[in-house]
Amino acid sequence: MVAFELSTAESQSEDPSLLRGLNEEQQSRLTKLLDEYLVGLENGECLDADEIVSQNPDLGSVFHAYLEKLRALYGVAAGMQPTLDAPSVPLPADKQLGDFLLHREIGRGGMGVVYEASQQSLDRRVAIKLLPLASMLDSHQIARFKNEAHAAGLLQHPNIVPIHSVGSHQGVHYYAMQFVDGIALDAWVQERREEKMAEEIGNGSVASSGETRTESAEQKRDAWKQVIQWGIDIADALHVAHENGVVHRDVKPSNLMLDRSGKIWVTDFGLARCQTEMSLTRSGDVIGTMRYMSPEQARGQSALIDGRADEYSLAATLYECLTLRYAHEGDDAATILKRIDNEEVIPLHLLRADLPRDLGTVIAKAMSKNREDRYETANEFADDMKRVLRGEPTIARPPSIADRLVRLASKHRRVALAAALIVTLGLVGSAIANAKLATAKKASDENALRATRGELLARGALDRMGTRIAELLVDIPAADSVRRLLLLEM
């Protein structure tokens, strides 16, 4: 898709009659209609322009004028849609965009269309990205895009695709960057998935020799180290950007390029802020991006987004490269968002028992749902991955029992609250019962003490009385038998 800024003085100077007399509501409706028309073309559906005009007669002339502009600038025609069989769509030789001559389409998505092009003044090959049509009436957004692009263009790192220039031509906003001859990391992952599937089918139908299996195992034994080295390079690039105040916000396999020498490149740097604020009209792009979003990013908490959000996205990307499965499965944005927010990722060692246990701990730390539990900087993330490669102890530690309990309580808040209430009531009831038992025991002890004292007093009184009577009977001769009987009873 492409982007126009219909409200700027530049657009009006090119054709003042296009927007003259349109109010804010009409401009907004025009944006929506043009966007729906282009999305239909990308999906292989040619919307009837005459029918659209008949339903919006007040926008008829302006709508047709912009359709002509789209056809002139992009060769947009009914049914033009890249397919998996033909990902690159050749363009006419006269496709000129300022100083750039466009050759062929090399990528497409809700975030825009990318072309291979030549910069004529410097005679060099570049990649040109045209921005999507969404928000074409928002001049503030276009200005923000330019600022972000210029900031990203100042970044200097061997793994960041440099941005050469940012500009616009006849209302079309674009930026030119270094052309990387290679494939995106999502294509690399897809190739590994297909190889794994073919291998599983082959093992199930044809018995291969033990020697062949041994060679295959030896070749793949250390393949994970290359993935982690890519992760280290990406984390170093992210750290440089974060140190310069630029957060990528859209780290994912399709924004990471592998050139023919195996070097990893980070592209679309610093541009995701502008793009993610645009209305994403293609559900596939929403899902594809959301799979790698941090929880705070997926919830739209833009104030909380910092470099640690990029760490999360990088860890989710590495997880996919190592396991060949998404960290968060799901066919729609709502399901993925729920899993990002509530469900823990399957531990790495359960899917790849051959990998170091510390590697899974490092990835898990970078993918912590609470950003405070992640690495403070992307540099620390890179350092811990280096320790894994060297076989040294890592900063990341497996979660303790207390951590698991806290996480479990956070995940099941209602159950935790009910359990806490039950435990509290149990403790209160136990305290009351203990207090009653203590009171009863105290009363019992006091009664026993009084009984003992009474018994002693009674014995003393009886002894004294018997002794006294015996002494009195001594002087009476006839009372000897009575005196003896009294002493024996006593």
Q: Hey, which residues are catalytic here?
A: 250
The pair of structure tokens assigned to 240 is 């440089």
Long-range pairs, 319-323, Cβ under 8 A, ≥24: 319/345, 319/348, 319/363, 319/367, 320/189, 320/253, 321/185, 321/188, 321/189, 321/192, 321/227, 321/230, 321/253, 322/224, 322/227, 322/348, 322/352, 322/355, 322/363, 323/348, 323/351, 323/352
HSE (side-chain half, CA atoms, 13 Å) at 54: 5
The Cα-based distances of 435 to 421, 427, 429, 442 in angstroms read 21, 12, 10, 11
The Cα-based distances of 348 to 105, 233, 265, 337, 442 in angstroms read 37, 21, 25, 21, 60
Bridging pattern class, strands 264-266 and 163-169 = unpaired
Determine phi and psi for 150, rounding to 5 degrees: -65, -40
**CA max distance for the chain:** 157
